[in-house]
Structure 1
Amino acid sequence: MILFAGKEVARVAAEDSPLSDLVPGKITGTVDQWNTSGLENYGNAQQRLFLSPEKNPLARLEVTDGRVLLRDQENAQALHPLIVRSVRGFGMVVYVAFDIDVPPLDDWDSSSRVLEKLIAVGRNAGEEDDSLAGSGVNYAGYQDLSGQLRSQLEKFESVTPVQFVWIAVLLAFFVLIIGPLDFYLLRKLDRFHWTWGTFPAAVILIAVIVVMMSHTLPADSPQMNQLHIVDIDAVTGTVRGTDYLALYSPEIDAFDVKLETKAMAQNNSIPPVEKQFVTTGWHGLPGTGLGALGRASFQTYINHEYQVDTAVTELQSIPVQHGGTKSIRSRWSGKMEVETQPELYADPISGALRGTLTNPFDFDLFEVEIVFDGKVYPIGRTFRAGESVDIFDISDQSQGVDNYYSRYQDGSSKGKRRRWSVMEESTQRIVRQMMFNQSIGGAKYTGLINRYEEFHDLSHVLSYNRAVLVARTSQGNSEYVVDGDSDVALESGKNFYRVVFKVNAAP
């Protein structure tokens, strides 16, 4: 979000204003005359900018939470911040202390360049993502991390997919039987007229093999994989969740899909969340590959209508073709109270994270790390409910984010840095890559962009006095309930939690 507040800054920063929390500091008035050299350099201006004291006041801001990206001058003489970037919840706010839509700024030749830079800063996009944006689909059929996540969720251990090489071998075997093998055998027997019988026999043999494959490779009953990611901002109590469902059916069938909260099941260990916004829809495949959202044409295999019950956020009578899959994604947001607030601060000398962290939940966390300012502090495989840890005690195990997440098993320094595989990565590794994609290396490391679900990436908060607790859990706030003609078995269910804590100044 980009917030321009110059002349009307007093109204924006008022206590009763809904935008007051977005101002990264204290407003102490306005400045009628201010130096524009910093802004001119920022916009690569070819001409000077002459402002009017009445029309172009500058908000005087004392920054208390955020990072100044631009001042009125680019030297020690600078007096006033012009552009400040700060974290709010899970996003970023770029605060601009002047109005760009009034003369002469609206007609200034460099205004467009300033806006382009502000949008790039707000989007937090990496240059490597832009470089891959126009590239074609790779051999995996997707060019976005979201596509790899969807592909991985649609893999079921009880279902053996038919490989292309199997079909190629079967065709080669068929040609071998009806060609050279049939010829040499009949010539040796001097019975060429038997080909009227050997050819149908070869066809029947191949048909039997195909029928056996079609009956033995698929699962006998519908299967589903679920993935749930919950993000909590401890400062504001804001909660958001993203839930994924991959549904497989061995036969043509229709299913009802509904997202329910665990609170309804009276699971007291899960923190209550007051959900204010819930959406459920297809988890589409981004790009222009086979079955992707960007294709200009598509083919309908099943002529079947489904219904949407908006009152309970339910998709009814969703068709799934024979041996096919269907991917669903839900997003929701709400509020909750984080009762346990850790005392975290940055070391004034080394900048390392210090303080004590207590498990904020009433259930155990697994494979726990806390990420801050480009470093990962591994807490351990199990972080029990109510347990506390002194960050200083684990600081000697800390590693850079890119180094930690690109190595084998818990980021051990003994492991070798591994390359990213666009076909074989586990769900857990894909999720953690999406969580801190830019910090781990982005598209330069994975070879995939992260546009479709970029909201998962919290790399931008790590340098703004925020620490992120990352953990896997055995339970989550939500679960999908799927009803069909046959019972749907849950093959895999994974739950991830992230909690964003504010890191205070050193005591």
Structure 2
Amino acid sequence: MKHSLLIALVITTALQARFQEEAGEAPRRFVPPSEAPSIERVRIGLPAGRGGFNAGKSRNAVWTPVAITLKAGSHGVPANTYRLRVEAADSEELRYHYPVEVPAMEAGTEQTVQGYAAFGSDDTSCQVRLETTEGQWIQAKSQAARDPVGIVRDQDLLFLALGTSFSSLKRAAEKPEAADKAQGVDAESETGRRQFAFVEDVEAMPDRWFGYGGVDVVVLSTRDPQFVARLAQDSMSARRTALLDWVRRGGQLVLTIGSSRREVSRELLPRLPLVDAKVTGSETLKAFPALSLQWCKMGVQKAPLLNMEVTTLELGNGVHVLVREGDRPILLETSCGLGRVIVTAFDLEDPKFTNWDGQLSFWTKLQQEISPLVAPRGAKAVEGVRWGENEERDDLRDQLRANLEAFEEITPISFGWVALFIVLYIILVGPLDYFILKKVFKRLEWTWLTFPIAVVGASVLAYVAAYSVKGEELRTNKIDLIDIDLHQPQESKDPNQPEHRGNTHRSSQLYGHTWFTLFSPRMGAYTIGLHPAVDSWTDKVETGTLEPTFHLLETGVRPRTGAQGMFAKPFEFAFDASSVRDVPIPVWSTRSFGVSWRAPLPRKAWLDITDDGGTIRKAREGKGLVGKLTNRLAGVEWTGVCLFYRDRWYSLGSIAPGESRRLEPLFAADAQGQGKKIAEWFNDPTQPLAPGLPLNPTGRPINAKFEMGRNGYSLMKTLLFFRATEKPIRSNVGLRDLDQTWRAVSRPEFPPPINPRYRDEAILIARTRLLCDRAEAVSVHPASPSRLWLGAVPSESGERPTMPGILTQETYLRAFIPVAD
């Protein structure tokens, strides 16, 4: 028997190799387990500093690093031979895969690679599977559900320290909480906890920008010269690129430049251009009165900070001084793309600083300055959904998804109608059937025939009614927020960064945020990709550079539906999450996604800020701006145009294609209704950014009720300047990085200047007309900055498939405009 099985296996393998050879494929080779690498350890989340390798911090519903340690077999690991699949589940308990390449390894060595997963709920588990590139299963390692202590809640803030443990940072966070509890105030229940992760090894840093998705603030220490040198190596290019890209997309980072200033200046900053500043040397300051008495608000009775070495810096454009001792700036602030960088010109681990009585006050003030605003928990606290409760959450991300799930001509069926039809159905198949057969036909035995007829008839009637209400067409609601940074980005001298390969590092950048929901009229599996509208909105980018990043637009709470079937196939994200394949959507159901993408602006940008006198500049008397704005986006009208400058906002109305608008009248003494405070913008009676009547390029009729229900613009206003709402009534969990209030208001400076200081920058907000029509007509319309691919992905297909069904498109614009002197 054994010999027969062996012979059958040999014959089967030979025939398979023969068929593959005839088909032009390389024969698959069986890999013995002794030759394959093995999975040694798996850690979910960012290192937490305790509990060894397995301890990690993670959030729900955002991409989370999964560190996988591999050990090579006796024959080593050739390149392009194996791959890993990280498997997890979304909030509906549908399983998915994220692929990871296995690098070449020498025999007997260990190496840690980074995978990523987004967890749908607290109890979602993770499995890592090792297989050959041809699909042969090698090993699977299951990971138990994450430790609840390591899960960062919605209202919590996560600080990530790179290059050090920063124990003083954690102590500063714990001290106010302890004081609150001593006074009987439960700070955690109001605004959440401050949690911390620590990465002291460069290789443990995420190698993809979305690996920082759960982080609120990164603190990058450069005190250790070995850490700086390691981070600056060519082999760590992916780690540097990930960190820089995360900051440019809205991340917040604290950078220390102290004793390793030479290594930072010569090796790190040229490859990681976070700030436009040049290190010129160092100087020992005898005292720090501005830092001690004004920034930290310490009493004169406490010991001051004395005789500490600081780095001397030559500041470039856009760098604002927060604290200055004499003529030496020691605490700085600047923008990096959409992100915010605070620079300390001294080591935060210098013994003179760590032994100083005011260090905890310093950290507390710094955390208050750079931490995202967290709305207090109210009656609808973000705590998850208990059994039997509705899933309604008062968070901006969830409200955005709810808005996307409101489809034209599809009216939700209330529970009352459902209950009524259930009662009628029970009456039909029960008492009514019995009464008719007994009293009319007097043939109760016919129930074997009438019962299935009644069931089938009721089912057919229900399906016909549902199709008449919900329709038979695929429907898509899509929102694009386009951020453009007209500041020239700091040039990176790292040739390995993808933006260098695309030759885009000298161009102003466009950052796209796309959210969309698909309504499927039938059960199906969807393959989805996205690319920007090249030439009109963005410049061309080489294939493989600046790929979009997909994620599921979810809440991170318990599932809304039942678990996935036993034999259902998991859907798959592409490498780098640049697309998603075979996502199942049940009949008459929806699925929501988010996409983040970046591209250079065209050489002839569609927002022109020049006139005969140059770019937009300050007025001579110091009040207002001089210059003009021109809409060069062909065929697209801007509506609800507002300009934000120095704590105020100014309305420009609508700007037609090719039209220019001078800025001087906005600041004139007789200007009516201009120069209002930013807080008044959210509830202004003129309703800036309201959608108005939609455009329908093919002339398709629009449902009037649908027009009245579009309120996404009010959510978008809050997202753009969340901190400016002062007392937000909703929380902002997953979209905190969109808040750019800090760029529009006065900046703190110590010693305080005579007049408030502002960034030399104006912010333009606008939207395009709402589009609602046949999906393909809307996709190719000039007002659509990104185009969805259904059934194919851009990296595998040269031509985009025709978009089916109906598409509703909303587009919002935000431009950061440098202001010249």
TM-score by length of 2: 0.49
Cα distance change on mapping 1:380 and 1:108 into 2, 3 Å: same
1-structure distance, mates of 2:467, 2:399: 28
Cα distance change on mapping 1:206 and 1:7 into 2, 3 Å: same
Cα distance change on mapping 1:137 and 1:163 into 2, 3 Å: farther
1:12 and 1:19 in contact (8 A); partners too: no
2:147 corresponds to: none
Match of 2:536 among 269, 276, 283: 269
Q: Which moved more, 1:82-91 or 1:342-351?
A: 342-351
1-structure distance, mates of 2:382, 2:527: 37
AA at the equivalent of 1:480:
L
Q: Which moved more, 1:2-11 or 1:150-159?
A: 2-11
CA deviation profile, 1:272-328 (whole Å, cap 9, x unmatched): 153742243333322536549xxxxx7226823323444993322221111111112
Match of 1:461 among 733, 743, 755: 743
1:307 and 1:315 in contact (8 A); partners too: yes
2-structure distance, mates of 1:438, 1:21: 27
1:239 corresponds to: 510
Q: Which moved more, 1:125-134 or 1:307-316?
A: 125-134
CA deviation profile, 1:132-185 (whole Å, cap 9, x unmatched): 996446966223211111121122113222223433555677899999x99xxx
Higher relative contact order structure (alpha carbons within 8 Å, sequence separation ≥ 6): 1
CA deviation profile, 1:165-210 (whole Å, cap 9, x unmatched): 433555677899999x99xxx9xxx99x99999xx89999987875
2:770 pairs with 1:472: no
2-structure distance, mates of 1:493, 1:285: 21
CA deviation profile, 1:440-472 (whole Å, cap 9, x unmatched): x16x34x22123112222222113222122222
AA at the equivalent of 1:33:
L
2-structure distance, mates of 1:348, 1:114: 38
Q: Which moved more, 1:135-144 or 1:235-244?
A: 135-144
Match of 2:681 among 404, 412, 429: 404
1-structure distance, mates of 2:351, 2:808: 59
Match of 2:412 among 157, 161, 174: 161
1:102 corresponds to: 350
2-structure distance, mates of 1:321, 1:486: 22
1:370 corresponds to: 643
Match of 2:790 among 478, 482, 500: 482
- How many residues of Structure 1 are paired with residues of Structure 2 in the alignment? 467
Cα distance change on mapping 1:346 and 1:400 into 2, 3 Å: farther
Secondary structure of 1:104's match?
A: helix
Q: Which moved more, 1:223-232 or 1:353-362?
A: 353-362
1-structure distance, mates of 2:264, 2:379: 39
1-structure distance, mates of 2:444, 2:618: 84
Q: How do 1:6-405 and structure 2 match up within 5 A?
A: 6-9=258-261, 12=264, 17-18=269-270, 22-23=274-275, 29-41=281-293, 42-43=295-296, 48=302, 53=307, 56-61=308-313, 65-72=318-325, 79-108=327-356, 110-123=358-371, 125-126=372-373, 128=375, 135-136=382-383, 141-168=392-419, 170=421, 210-236=462-488, 237-263=508-534, 268-274=535-541, 276-288=545-557, 291=560, 299-300=563-564, 303-310=568-575, 313-336=578-601, 337=603, 340-342=608-610, 343-347=615-619, 351-359=623-631, 361-367=633-639, 368-385=641-658, 387-393=660-666, 395-398=671-674, 399-405=676-682
Cα distance change on mapping 1:351 and 1:26 into 2, 3 Å: farther
Cα distance change on mapping 1:455 and 1:338 into 2, 3 Å: farther
2:510 and 2:538 in contact (8 A); partners too: no
Q: Which moved more, 1:349-358 or 1:236-245?
A: 349-358
2-structure distance, mates of 1:377, 1:488: 40
AA at the equivalent of 1:396:
Q
2:113 corresponds to: none
Cα offset, 1:257, TM superposition: 0.9
TM-score by length of 1: 0.76
Secondary structure of 2:412's match?
A: coil
Secondary structure of 1:274's match?
A: coil
Cα distance change on mapping 1:486 and 1:212 into 2, 3 Å: farther
Q: Which moved more, 1:217-226 or 1:300-309?
A: 300-309
2-structure distance, mates of 1:430, 1:131: 18
Q: Give % identity.
A: 18
AA at the equivalent of 2:637:
L
CA deviation profile, 1:44-89 (whole Å, cap 9, x unmatched): 6698557675xx31234566644433344xxxxx554332222232
2:811 corresponds to: 495
Secondary structure of 1:59's match?
A: strand
Secondary structure of 2:628's match?
A: strand
Secondary structure of 1:277's match?
A: coil
CA deviation profile, 1:392-443 (whole Å, cap 9, x unmatched): 257534233332232344459xxxxxxxxxx96622332232122222x16x
2-structure distance, mates of 1:374, 1:209: 60
CA deviation profile, 1:236-283 (whole Å, cap 9, x unmatched): 2122111222111121111221112322xxxx4334153742243333
Cα offset, 1:492, TM superposition: 0.3
AA at the equivalent of 1:332:
W
Secondary structure of 1:33's match?
A: strand
2-structure distance, mates of 1:318, 1:105: 53
Q: Mind listing any 5+ residue stretches in structure 1 that lack a counterpart?
A: 73-77, 293-297, 413-422
Cα offset, 1:224, TM superposition: 1.4
2-structure distance, mates of 1:129, 1:347: 41
Cα distance change on mapping 1:16 and 1:221 into 2, 3 Å: closer
Cα distance change on mapping 1:311 and 1:172 into 2, 3 Å: closer
Secondary structure of 1:288's match?
A: coil
2:448 pairs with 1:448: no
How big is the alpha-carbon RMSD for the aligned residues of Structure 1 and Structure 2? 4.3
1:13 and 1:23 in contact (8 A); partners too: no
Cα offset, 1:228, TM superposition: 2.0
Cα distance change on mapping 1:318 and 1:206 into 2, 3 Å: closer
Cα distance change on mapping 1:37 and 1:86 into 2, 3 Å: same
Cα distance change on mapping 1:428 and 1:28 into 2, 3 Å: same
1-structure distance, mates of 2:305, 2:258: 13
2-structure distance, mates of 1:346, 1:260: 37
1:269 and 1:363 in contact (8 A); partners too: no
CA deviation profile, 1:359-394 (whole Å, cap 9, x unmatched): 354453321222222322222223322524234257
Q: Which moved more, 1:7-16 or 1:323-332?
A: 7-16
Secondary structure of 2:719's match?
A: helix
Secondary structure of 1:278's match?
A: coil
Secondary structure of 1:251's match?
A: coil
2-structure distance, mates of 1:2, 1:427: 33
1-structure distance, mates of 2:577, 2:339: 28
Secondary structure of 2:350's match?
A: coil
AA at the equivalent of 1:321:
P
Cα offset, 1:501, TM superposition: 0.5
2:303 and 2:357 in contact (8 A); partners too: no
Q: Which moved more, 1:490-499 or 1:16-25?
A: 16-25
Cα distance change on mapping 1:348 and 1:168 into 2, 3 Å: farther
1:435 and 1:456 in contact (8 A); partners too: yes
